[in-house]
Amino acid sequence: MFEHLKEQPADKILALMQAFKDDPREDKIDLGVGVYKDADGKTPIMRAIKKAEKQLWEEETTKAYTGLAGDPLFGERMAALVLGDAVPAGKVAKVATPGGTGAVRQAFDLIRMANPEARVFVSDPTWPNHLSILKHMDIPFTTYRYFDGVTGGVDFDGMMEDLAQVRKGDVVLLHGCCHNPTGANLNISEWQAVADLLNKQGAVPMIDIAYQGFGDGLDDDAAATRLIAAHCPETLIAASCSKNFGIYRERTGCLMAVAHEEGRHKLNQDTLAYLNRQNYSFPPDHGARLVLMVLGDDALRTDWQAELEDVRLGMLKLREQLAGELRDLSGSDRFGFLAQHRGMFSRLGVGPDKVEALREKHGIYMVGDSRMNIAGLNAETIPKLARAIIDVGC
């Protein structure tokens, strides 16, 4: 049997990580990895998570299964965090998943089960794993224009022109905030236009929100998701706790299915639990337990929000510093979009040759499409990066 297996394509980001490790230069800079790093290059455990973990260690009395959907309280608190009061709680089915990736996969499974003919529209570019999973599941998909490489912003006219081609029952995958890999985002009036178009065409929105709190704040980052979920008859939402709670390896996520039509909730909830059973039975609980503890305790939540805000403001400061350095060196504002982007990532909008030159000449590692992790920088490395960008002719 095994002789029929084929070689799988190497993960480009993991290969980039290995190349960085093998580079002997002491002043090398890693902007490829997709995790948050502090000024010391570490991915810390957040204070509130550490406190909750200590409390859990002292108080937990069992490791028995929770339920197919995970602890219902985790789902309730995640729905409140993401949706606020935009949608009545009784309209939202939710299950815990192994990370945001698990939520995305389960959402695709639900789409395939509910409408095998549905096409999934994804932004160009998008997180590579979206495409990888869709291909693996043999779900038809197509792309819509999103990033304008000239302005560094969203090609909104192109996006709307492409989305006008969606058919009834198709699914449009949207990034709720902090678009990965570009960092470019829609404004709220543009989000309203997208919602109106989806409703006109009869398409279903699916929102991947992996960076809530990393852009403009917890509520502002959720504003688009809340608008879509409130205005569209049905919405799928895949939420991740990896970044904003800093619990990457705990694999903690949540899939929500919003339906405004009466009588849909129970069927949706039962179906999500059924899909969990088919794929992994019971979702991981440790990370979910920490999240529900933090969200349910006033002191822990206040501490978490304060630390998350420090992280957000720190990345914004790095963006502004980098844009300023490039303005001084280039004598122009052509890199000003970097300060307007939000989240961990920005896309420079240059070709693979420039990315290769940055790596070979300056030891600066970023993904081949010119995505760079802003959180991989600090105040000392920004001047080096800015000089290198100008040197290679970006």
Q: Is 243 a catalytic residue?
A: yes
d(CA 197, CA 26): 51
Q: Is 85 a catalytic residue?
A: no
Domains annotated on the chain, with CATH: 12-45+311-392 (3.90.1150.10), 65-296 (3.40.640.10)
Q: Which of 51, 243, 357, 388 is catalytic?
A: 243
Query: Which two tokens mark 66?
Result: 């929770």
Query: Which two tokens mark 83?
Result: 């949706």
d(CA 20, CA 254): 33
One pLDDT digit (tens) per residue for the chain, 394 residues:
999 999 988 888 888 989 999 999 999 999 998 899 998 889 999 999 999 999 999 999 999 999 999 999 999 999 999 999 999 999 999 999 999 999 999 999 999 999 999 999 999 999 999 999 999 999 999 999 999 999 999 999 999 999 999 999 999 999 999 999 999 999 999 999 999 999 999 999 999 999 999 999 999 999 999 999 999 999 999 999 999 999 999 999 999 999 999 999 999 999 999 999 999 999 999 999 999 999 999 999 999 999 999 999 999 999 999 999 999 999 999 999 999 999 999 999 899 999 999 999 999 999 999 999 999 999 999 999 999 999 997 8
Q: Which of 109, 155, 208, 285 is catalytic?
A: 208
Contact 229, 199 (CB under 8 A): no
d(CA 283, CA 277): 9
Q: Which of 127, 203, 257, 386 is catalytic?
A: 127
- Cβ-Cβ contacts under 8 Å for 186 (sequence gap 6 or more): 154, 156, 194, 224
Helix (H) or strand (E) holding 30: strand 29-30
Q: Tell me: the pLDDT tens digits for 382-391? A: 999 999 999 9
Q: Give the global pTM.
A: 0.97
DSSP state at residue 384? H
Other CB atoms within 10 A of residue 353 CB: 10
Contact 363, 23 (CB under 8 A): yes
- Please choose, from the candidates 340, 332, 342, the residue with its C-alpha nearest in 3D space to the C-alpha of residue 389: 332
Contact 252, 291 (CB under 8 A): yes
Q: Is 127 a catalytic residue?
A: yes
* DSSP strands (E only) in 58-102: 92-97
d(CA 60, CA 390): 55
Contact 81, 218 (CB under 8 A): yes
d(CA 341, CA 336): 9
- Cβ-Cβ contacts under 8 Å for 121 (sequence gap 6 or more): 141, 142, 143, 144, 162, 163, 166, 170, 171, 172, 173, 203
Would you state the pLDDT for residue 14? 82
Q: Which of 210, 230, 288, 357 is catalytic?
A: 210
- Cβ-Cβ contacts under 8 Å for 45 (sequence gap 6 or more): 53, 246
Would you state the pLDDT for residue 70? 98
Would you state the pLDDT for residue 39? 86
Cis omega (within 30 of 0) for bond into 181: yes
Other CB atoms within 10 A of residue 376 CB: 23
